[in-house]
């Protein structure tokens, strides 16, 4: 009997891990509601803040686009970074470790499935918020903006893979840590205001998160009048560099932390 | 042993349990940092948004104080509402101990009140630190010597009763769901929009503004700002006196508690009938 090649196993693992997420995108209605409404409610609250301040219309667009990417960030935090933590609690992580495949393939499958799930939620947020509040966009920048969006999401999920391996080392505090990566990141990434307003230092630190530069680039392309943080071409190059850097770092980190986790018996350590 | 002592012991145990669950995952200093990180960041977001629009000109302190006070005190709703309602689901799904609480001598209300108060202890620290940091950093017109403490305490006590009542009802209602992850946060997010915490409710469209005006949280926010800022407070209800605002808070709190009791009773009865108290939820 011939054995499947390593590449075939790798690819089949990606598909197998992504599959439950594709299916769950519509089957789990409880999650469908929270994953869509949570970012939407936050977006609506911020839109009303700008309305109360009589802000120009393009600021509503800033918030809506921030809300769209917020759905991805929440997915990365709760369904990528903390996923191995949940898997360990449910007893799946030890099965993953025993299976004749790599954790990297499992993470890639998670990322693929997670990106699809978030895309469905983000599209709803974009549509509902734009129609409700009459937000319009420049169509001429739409195609390049879509390109930047794909790059940004790729970099974001590479960061998610890196965080997932780091979270292998957390116990009960994983939940709180993920919780703490919400408003501080919304602030640092300029989800609700132009990134330029943060200044060079804070904006520079925030740029370590791919959403910051990606969001600013998308805004520059489809919301004319967006104050420029750094030139668009530099932002795109930086996001591409982040894809490479975070992908490489996640693989190094995963290998190291998996070995450590095996030594410390953390792959089977229940935290509750 | 008298009933009162039994209930008091149950209340103490529930408060201690709630505090341990929410705080003993780390060192006290890290816990304090964690408690203030989110509200402080939320305040910074609003400050930047306001500065972007106002251009950082003069006379911005009053509106900044409006925003910061709303965010600071919102921690009470965030912790009290989302924390408690999630806690009920966690007691069932994660810790699998809800059935033992039901069978213990303490009344379920007493247990939940204790759990809720433990959550609010974190909120007090969070609100204080956000107010102190923001007042110093932004030069807000908040003077500790000029705060109307009786109004602040009376309004906050009433509002917190309403928040805990709402959280109890919502939490027991969530027992109907197999998977209630994120619903506590969603509930508090909806309350955020209609509470006047970060913008005056007059900005909301008609029906939402009407619903908001029936919520005790709006009058609580108004009372907080009046007590902290005095005459410099930006008012959502300029035609109402402090007493009128407090009276409205009292009435809406009473109505909220009655409604919460009805919802709680129905949800509790249904959960018992359907055997949901010890349901396995694949946590």
**Structural domain harbouring A181:** 6-263
* A196: in domain: yes
Q: How confident is the model at residue A63 (pLDDT cuts 50, 70, 90)?
A: very high
- From B2's Cα to the closest Cα of chain A, the distance in A is 35
Using the beta-carbon criterion (under 8 Å), do A193 and B189 form an inter-chain contact?
no
Task: Give domain status of residue B265, yes or no.
Answer: yes
Number of structural domains (chain B) is 1
**Packing angle, helices A210-222 and A142-167, rounded to 10:** 170
User: Which residue of A38, A59, A197 is in closest CB contact with B189?
Assistant: A38
> Assign residue A136 a region: left if phi > 0, alpha if psi is -120 to 50, beta otherwise?
beta
Mutate to test the interface with B, among A28, A38, A53 (most CBs of B within 10 A): A53
Residue B217 lies in a domain: yes
Using left for φ > 0, alpha for ψ between -120 and 50, and beta otherwise, residue A228 falls in beta
b/e A259-268 (16+ beta carbons within 10 angstroms → b)? eebeeeebbe
Domain contains B279: no
Domain boundaries, position B179: 3-273
Domain for residue B283, yes or no? Answer: no
pLDDT digits (tens, 9 = 90+) for A164-214: 888 877 777 888 888 899 999 999 999 999 999 999 999 999 999 999 999
A271 in any annotated domain: no
pTM of the model: 0.90
- Binned at pLDDT 50, 70 and 90, residue A272 comes out as low
- Total structural domains in chain A? 1
Q: How many CB atoms lie within 10 A of CB B75?
A: 25
In a domain, B133, yes or no: yes
ipTM greater than 0.85: yes
Which pLDDT score is estimated for A269? 67
Q: Is B280 among the domain residues?
A: no
Percent of chain A predicted with pLDDT > 90: 61
Residue % of chain A over a pLDDT of 70: 98
Contacts of A191 in chain B (CB under 8 A): 45
Please state, in angstroms and rounded to a whole number, the distance separating the CA atoms of residues B80 and B236. 24
Q: Does residue B101 sit within a domain?
A: yes
Contacts of B154 (CB under 8 A, 6+ apart): B223, B246
What is the pLDDT at residue B190? Answer: 95
| Closest chain B CA to residue A171 | B25
**pLDDT for A58 beyond 70:** yes
pLDDT digits (tens, 9 = 90+) for B147-173: 999 999 999 999 999 999 999 999 999
What's the pLDDT at A264?
81
Helices (H), B55-197: 61-77, 84-93, 98-103, 108-138, 149-173, 183-193
With contacts defined as CB-CB under 8 Å, which chain A residues touch B282? Answer: 90
3-state SS string over B37-90?
HHHHHHHHHHHHHHHHHHCCCCCCHHHHHHHHHHHHHHHHHHHHHHHHHHHHHH
Whether B172 contacts B271, CB under 8 Å: yes
User: Does residue B76 lie in a domain region?
Assistant: yes
- Split chain B (283 residues) into runs of 10 and give each run's mean pLDDT: 86 92 87 88 93 78 92 91 89 90 90 87 87 91 94 96 94 88 91 94 93 96 96 93 97 98 96 91 67
Measured between alpha carbons, how far is B117 from A162 in angstroms, rounded to an integer? 38
Identify the residue with better confidence: A4 or A193: A193
Mean of pLDDT values over A51-74: 92
Residue from the list A31, A48, A184 with its beta carbon closest to the beta carbon of B37: A184
- The 10 Å CB-count burial string (b at 16+, else e) for A99-136 is eebbbbbbbbbbbbbbbebbbebbebbbebbbeebebe
């Amino acid at each position: 009997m011939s054995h499947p090649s390593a590449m075939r196993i790798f690819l089949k693992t990606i598909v197998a891990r992504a599959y439950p997420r594709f299916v769950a995108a519509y089957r789990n209605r409880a999650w469908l509601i929270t994953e869509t409404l949570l970012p939407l409610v936050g977006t609506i609250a911020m839109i009303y803040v700008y309305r109360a301040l009589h802000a120009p219309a393009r600021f509503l667009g800033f918030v809506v686009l921030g809300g769209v990417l917020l759905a991805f960030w929440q997915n990365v935090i709760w369904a990528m970074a903390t996923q191995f933590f949940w898997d360990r609690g449910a007893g799946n992580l030890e099965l993953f470790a025993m299976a004749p495949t790599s954790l990297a393939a499992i993470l890639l499958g998670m990322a693929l499935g997670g990106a699809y799930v978030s895309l469905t939620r983000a599209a709803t947020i974009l549509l509902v918020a734009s129609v409700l509040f009459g937000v319009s966009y420049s169509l001429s920048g739409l195609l390049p903006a879509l390109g930047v969006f794909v790059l940004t999401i790729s970099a974001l999920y590479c960061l998610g893979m890196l965080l997932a391996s780091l979270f292998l080392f957390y116990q009960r505090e994983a939940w709180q840590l993920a919780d703490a990566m919400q408003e501080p990141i919304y602030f640092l990434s300029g989800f609700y205001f132009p990134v330029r307003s943060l200044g060079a230092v804070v904006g520079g630190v925030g740029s370590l998160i791919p959403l910051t530069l990606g969001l600013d680039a998308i805004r520059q392309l489809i919301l004319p009048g967006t104050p420029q943080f750094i030139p668009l071409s530099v932002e795109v190059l930086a996001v591409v560099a982040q894809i490479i850097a975070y992908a490489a770092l996640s693989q190094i980190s995963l290998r190291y932390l998996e070995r450590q986790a095996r030594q410390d018996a953390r792959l089977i350590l229940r935290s509750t | 042993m008298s009933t009162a002592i039994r209930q008091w012991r149950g209340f103490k145990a529930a408060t201690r349990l709630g505090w341990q669950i929410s705080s003993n995952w780390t060192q006290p200093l890290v816990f304090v940092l964690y408690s203030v990180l989110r509200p402080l960041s939320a305040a910074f977001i609003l400050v930047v948004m306001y500065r972007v629009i106002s251009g950082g000109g003069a006379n911005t302190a009053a509106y900044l104080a409006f925003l910061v006070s709303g965010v600071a005190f919102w921690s009470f709703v965030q912790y009290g509402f989302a924390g408690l309602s999630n806690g009920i689901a966690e007691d069932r799904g994660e810790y699998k101990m809800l059935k033992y609480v039901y069978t213990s001598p303490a009344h379920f209300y007493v247990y939940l009140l204790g759990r809720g108060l433990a959550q609010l202890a974190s909120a007090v620290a969070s609100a204080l630190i956000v107010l102190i940091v923001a007042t110093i950093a932004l030069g807000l017109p908040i003077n500790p010597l000029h705060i109307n403490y009786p109004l602040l305490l009376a309004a906050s006590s009433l509002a917190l009763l309403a928040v805990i009542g709402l959280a109890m009802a919502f939490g027991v209602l969530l027992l109907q769901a197999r998977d209630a992850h994120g619903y506590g946060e969603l509930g508090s997010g909806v309350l955020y929009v209609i509470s006047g915490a970060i913008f005056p409710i007059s900005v909301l469209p008609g029906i939402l503004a009407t619903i908001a005006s029936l919520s005790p949280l709006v009058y609580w926010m108004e009372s907080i700002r009046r007590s902290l800022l005095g005459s410099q407070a930006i008012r959502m209800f300029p035609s109402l006196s402090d007493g009128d605002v407090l009276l409205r808070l009292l009435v809406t709190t009473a109505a909220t508690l009655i409604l919460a009791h009805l919802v709680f009773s129905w949800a509790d009865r249904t959960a018992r009938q359907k055997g949901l108290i010890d349901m396995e939820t694949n946590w």
